[in-house]
Each structure stands twice: as C-alpha cells, then as structure tokens.
Structure 1
Amino acid sequence: MKKLVLVGGGHAQLAVLQALARQRAADIDAVLVTPSPWQYYSGMLPGFIAGHYAEADCRIDLRPLAKAAGVRLQLGQAVELAADERQLRLAEGSGLDYDLLSLDPGSATDLDTLAPPVAGAPLADPWAAEHVLAVKPLAHFFALWPQLQARALAASTYQLCIVGGGAAGVELALAAAHALKAAAGTGHAGIRVSVLAPAAALLPGHAQGVRARVTRRLADSGILVVPQRAHSGTDGLRLADGRLYPADCVIAATGARALPWLERSGLACSDDGWIEVGDTHQSLSHPEVFAAGDCCTRLDPRFARSGVHAVHAGPVLAHNLLAHARGEALRHYTPRRHSLYLIACGPRWAIASWGRWSAQGRWVWRWKDWIDRRFIRSHSV
C-alpha cells in the first residue's frame, strides 16, 4: 500500500481526483490536504466582479470529488515540507508521511514589486496594510470584493488602482469599472479606475493586435492607464517619478510568487523558488514528488505558470502518479506552441488571443462563458 499525499486542489489536482475515482486503486492510500473544501476558479473571477456570476458559480466543492475518489480530505494549511524525510507538516502541528507526493498548492501574489525601494520589510507600513488587496489567495479576494464595492459606492469620490498590466490586471480593471458604473448609475461620477504598469508590461507576451484591442477597451471604459511602476509609501502610492498617486484601494495583480515553504523543502528549485520539474512533471531532485500548476517551472520556454497549462498537464500528472507507484512508464506533457487566452472585458464582451491571431465580440464572451461553465460542471459530482 502506497501513501499518496495530494497538496492543494488546483486545476491539475482535480484531474488526479477524477483518475482515482475511475480506477479506485486498491494499492493507493490517498489524502488530500487543502485549507478549504472549495477550489475557486480564477478564470471566472472577472465575471464575478462584473456581476455576471454568483460566488457559488465560480467554485468547485472538493468534498464529493474526494469521496468519489476514495481520498480522505484533510482541511489544513501546509507550512513545511522535508523532502528528504518525506514528511509534510501542517499549520496546526500535525505531520503526514508519504511514499508519493503531488503538489498543486498554487502561489501567492508577488507583493515585493510594491515594496518601497529602500531597505525594510515589503508592505510593512500601515497605509499598505489598510489599502492594498492582493488577488491571491482567491477565496480571500472573493470574500472582500463585495465590501470594496460597497465602500466605493458609499463614498463621494473613490480611486481604485490596479497595479499590474498582465491579463489578470487588465481583466480586473475592466470588470471593476463595469461593476461600479453599473451599480452607481449616472448619478455617481466620483469613481475612478486606473491601471498602473510600465508601458512594456501591458499584456506582455501577447501580440500587438491584442494589446491594441485591450488599450481601446480600457479607454472606452474610462480607465486611465498610467505607464509607470508604483510602490507603496507611508502616505499612499508613489510613482517611479516620485509623485504621489491618490488611491483609496490598490488591487495588486503583480504576478505570482513561490510559496516560501516549498523553497525551503529541499526540492530542486529555481532561483526564484519554483519547483523544478521535467516534462513528466516529476521533481528533478526527488522522483517520488510530482508538481503541477503555478508552483513549478520547467526549462521549456513554452511553459508558463498558468491555468491553461495546469488544466492540460492534469491528465499527465494523474497518469504518472499511478504509473510511478506501480513501476510503469511515465507520460510526457508537451505544451502547445500557442495557448488560447480569452480576456474578459467587463460587460459580456471578450477578446481572444492565440499567437498573432486575435478577435473580439460578444461571441467571444459566450465562448469563454461556455468553457468556464463546462469546466465547473465537469468537476461536479
């Protein structure tokens, strides 16, 4: 009997649960460790902010999935991994030994980019603690968005700043502007939404046509794009040129940061803390450890930490965990040359990005909505 510990209920891990449900492997004793029984789907967060979805539409209940797979569900936060000893430690102090480990716990928001350019702990000042809201963890953001919206609508003036020009930052800005405008009506002209990011950092990796389409949508939505870096100061948000930028709330969509406990685990990690895996998603240093989702990295330049790759790598991860336990051949996950991105634009409108090709319209939104709802349904028991 092999002890299999699954850490996190991310996109790839869902495929593992489905595989275990199909096979009900008698030689595997599995437990899923996750801090919440709900797994939130990041692809539907902009639609939730914009008012198109309820919170319940955007999450997957892990309890029936675990039950169907014959996997024990242990609610807890992993805080330490001793890879050489094959032991996982939880926040409450308990430990789990394993023969086989599958890691898909996600990542944290990289708040270091918002840190003042001086020595000291990042975001330690009281202003940042009160005004900065990180996108991750997602459950926290889902819970706090209605409160943020209520404060904005109750104020005579309100400045919402999204720091980060990637797809997440753009989608959040467009969704927030749409939601606040729709809720406030024409009688409330004091709400402003802006995106702060260097010009070169606006939708990096996407074709020029996609960036042009998004830039027009931002302008049409009344969103100001400030092409500068920004950091948190003691009195507000400071731009790279030294100016104070007014902000009642700052949403940090500043990219992902590796979870510190993984970097300390003894697993082979990149310089910035991501678990290094090969094309089988097996750790380069510990063959009994597999990782997928945005906690790991590969040398393949086509590989990025995104939900797209996590979903596609899931079936490979599921096969390889069971195959490794039985001494069978492993499969390889090869990323596609281009990934399809559907960028939500606030109202029921979206922009499609695939390599150099792009398109936009309500039909793209309906396409995205169908894909997202199908993903949630496919993991409902």
Structure 2
Amino acid sequence: MNRLKRLVLLGGGHAHVHVLNALSKNRLPNVSITLISPFDRQVYSGMLPGWIAGHYDIEQCVLPLKPLARAADAHYLQTAATKIDATRKQILCANGDLVEFDVLSIDIGSAPQYAAIVGAADHAIAIRPIETFIEHMTTLVEVRQRRATPMHITVIGAGAGGVEVALALKHRRAELQVSLVSGANTLPGNIAPRIANALNRAGVAVFAGSPAIEIGPNNVTLADDRVIESEQTIVALGASAPSWLAMTGLACDPSGYLVTNNFLQSISHEFVFAAGDCASIEAYPRPKSGVYAVRAGPPLEQNLRAALTSRPLTRYVPQTRSLYLISTGNKYAIGSWGRVSWEGEWVWRWKDRIDRTFMAKYRKPGANRPIL
C-alpha cells in the first residue's frame, strides 16, 4: 500500500482559507493534510476598521479555522513554526512538534514594520499581528470608557490601513484626539484629496512631511523635531517579511519575502508553495494587500492539487490593478479603480456587501465531522 502524501498548510491566511474550503468540497485521495497556525481563527482585515468603528462585532470579522480544517479532513495544530528544514522536509514548531511534509504551502502573512522607530516595541501597538492588535484595541476601548478626559491617540502611517484606523477611532469616540503621521508630504494615491477631506471632516489632525523617529510613553517625536502628545500610539507602516524566513534556505528577495514563480511555487524548492503577504511573485511584484492574497487562493489550491497528483501546474498572473474601498468610519467609504475614484454612503454599503459575501462563502465548509 502506498504511503499517503503529506500536505502541510503553514499559516491560516486568506489564501489557505480558500484552499481548505475547496478541499472540503473536492477531496484529495491518498493525501493527509495538516494545518499549522498559532491562532484558531483568521481575521478578515477588510472588516477590521468596521469593528473598530463599532459597526461589527468581532465574531462577524473572523473565520474560525477549526471548522475549515475539520471539513477538509485536515489535522489542525495550533502552534507557530519556528524553523523549516527544506532539505529534510520538516517543520519545527513552537510546541516542540516536528511535522514532516511532501508538499508545503506557506501563507503566514507579514510582520510589523517599526524597527527604525526608537521606542516602538515598548510604547506602541502594531497592527500586525492582527490578533495582538485586537487585544490591545479591546483594552484601549475599556480604558477610554473609564476616563473622564479625552485621550490622545496617534496613528503612524498614512496608507489605507492607517487612514481607516484613524477615522474608525474618531467615529467610535468623537471626543478622542486623533493624530495621523505621514512621512510623505501628501497622502498616498490618486484619492489623496478625498482622503484629506474625510480626515478634515472627522477632525483628525494630520502631520505630514516628516516621519516618526521616536515613540515615548506619552509622545511621538518626528524627524523635524515636532513632538505630538500621544498617550497611545498605533503603528500602521505596512508590511515587512517575517525575519525567520530568510533562515529557511528557501529563496527570498532582498526584503526577506519568499520568492515564487508564476505557479506560486518557490523558485528554489519545487515542493514548496507560498502566497499572501509573506511572498512575492518574481515576475509580477505587487503591493502587500489582502486583495491580492484573496485572489491567490484559487490558483494556489489548483497548483497544490496538481503537485500532489503529478499533473501540470497552471500559470497565475495577478491583476495589475485592484479595486480599493476605504471606509471613513461613519458608514461612508471612498473607492478607486485605477485613476477613477468615487465616494459616498453607497460605497460603504457596497463594501459591506462584498465583505459579508466573502465571509459567508467560507463559514459553511463541508460536512460537520470530528476534528482529527
């Protein structure tokens, strides 16, 4: 009798959620599946600002991984990987488990980007990992409810994520003194004027043109010596690669991200695949965004299936541009597609429908069987 092939899904990111759901509907014969993730749920980042603003309960924004694993007949290990030995095809986990694989897929997301800011690790909340951010935000809301005076909060990073967090906080508690720091002289993208208007309407103070260089317990210092009062600082500077990936022996780019070909397959190890914010397609670099991570799910599942059944892989070319919908806190949103942009309450309703449809798609995976 032939040994079962071993597929390991490392990480519970957007792409792996799709893979598990697809496998629950169309099983792979003679394949054992293991899911490794330190968190037992996947937080849908697109709905997180709505949770901060008070429009959603947190349970509406998360996809439990255990039911997804159960439906796909996957063994679930709630732990993190600390080392990958690509030569021996083994993963060492934080709980001491050694997991062997024949085919490995990595979708572990990215790490926070604040190493250059003095004091960030001690005095700031990073938006990654999202689970840790949620814990801090929950505590922050509880502290604010007990205070009689306004709290000063600073968000560092004026990309889409930072803008949405700042506006959501201001909507949740109008009395908050919210500041947004942009290292550039302008807000990003062709929708910068619309974003600037939204921030102005909400009363968010924007400090542009100078990056933050130091975070203290009660203030933020910018490179031009301006000092912002800040009792709580949130860092939303975008993504960086998990540092340990560079020590795996898998091909990485100069920034430390795993490098794949058009099949989402490692360029150095053909039995390793990767998607989401932890990886970059060599021929088609794209921004680190949940939009691209979600879109990578179907081609990743197709090529994992092909690799496990000795069939040809299928090329994947990510789209060159994406629809961006940025919520502004008050059930109002700004949208853009290429050079075209728009805004309104109807845009928020559109975004809300897209997000809820996505979540509903993965909340009912396969049959209800015991977890292995």
TM-score, normalised via structure 1 length:
0.91
* Counterpart Cα distance in 1 of 2:220 and 2:20: 43
Shift of 1:202: 2.4
Structure 1 counterpart of 2:326? 343
- Is 2:360 aligned against 1:377? yes
Aligned positions of 1:204-215 closer than 5 A: 206-207=189-190, 210-215=191-196
**d(CA) in 2 for partners of 1:331, 1:349:** 39
Q: Is the aligned partner of 1:142 residue 2:127?
A: no
Are 1:180 and 2:173 counterparts?
yes
Partner of 1:192: 177
Aligned to 1:5: 8
Are 2:83 and 2:92, in contact at CA under 8 Å, matched by a contact in 1?
yes
Equivalent position of 1:231 in the other structure: 213
Aligned counterparts, 1:116-131, within 5 A: 116=118, 123=120, 129=122, 131=123
- Preserved contact between residue 302 and residue 337 of structure 1 (Cα < 8 Å): no
C-alpha root-mean-square deviation of aligned residues, in Å? 1.5
Instruction: Give runs of aligned pairs for residues 29-40 of structure 1, distance below 5 A.
Output: 29-40=32-43
Give the conservation status (yes or no) of the 8 Å contact 2:14–2:276. yes
8 A contact 1:4–1:28 mirrored in 2: yes
2:162 is aligned with 1:165: no
Q: CA deviation at 1:16?
A: 1.0
Q: C-alpha separation between the residues in 2 aligned to 1:234 and 1:334?
A: 44
CA offsets 1:279-332 (integer angstroms, 9 cap, x no match): 110001000000000000123455222111111111100010110112211112
The letter of the residue matching 1:11 is: H
* 1:334 has 2:326 as partner: no
Percent identity, please: 39
Amino acid corresponding to residue 245 of structure 1 in structure 2? I
Structure 2 match to 1:15: 18
How many aligned positions are there? 358
Larger CA deviation: 169-178 vs 229-238? 229-238
Tell me the equivalent position of 1:119: none
Superposition deviation, residue 269 in structure 1? 0.2
CA distance in structure 1 between the partners assigned to 2:164 and 2:43 by the alignment: 17
**CA–CA distance in structure 2, aligned partners of residues 304 and 242 of structure 1:** 31
Aligned residues of 2:113 and 2:240 also touching (Cα < 8 A): yes
Matched, 1:222 2:199: no
Offset at 1:278?
A: 1.0
In the aligned structure 2, how far is the partner of 1:64 from the partner of 1:151?
A: 34
Q: Any idea what the Cα deviations from partners look like across 1:85-126, whole Å, max 9, x if unmatched? A: 21111112211111000000111111124x23xxxxx64xxx
Partner AA of 2:129 in structure 1: P
Residue 255 of structure 2 aligns to which amino acid in structure 1?
D
Q: Which moved more, 1:305-314 or 1:354-363?
A: 305-314
Select the residue among 208, 222, 235 that pairs with 1:252: 235
Residues 1:362 and 1:32: Cα distance change in structure 2 (over 3 Å): same
For residue 56 of structure 1, the aligned residue among 46, 56, 59 is 59
Equivalent residues of 2:334, 2:341 under 8 A apart: yes
- Shift of residue 231, structure 1, vs aligned partner: 2.2
Note if contact 2:186-2:192 (Cα within 8 Å) is conserved in structure 1.
no
Deviation of residue 201 (structure 1)? 6.2
Structure 1: stretches of 5+ with no match in the other structure: 117-121, 182-187
Which residue of structure 2 lines up, in the alignment, with residue 68 of structure 1? 71
* 1:266 and 2:221 aligned: no
**Structure 2 residues not aligned, in runs of 5+:** 365-372
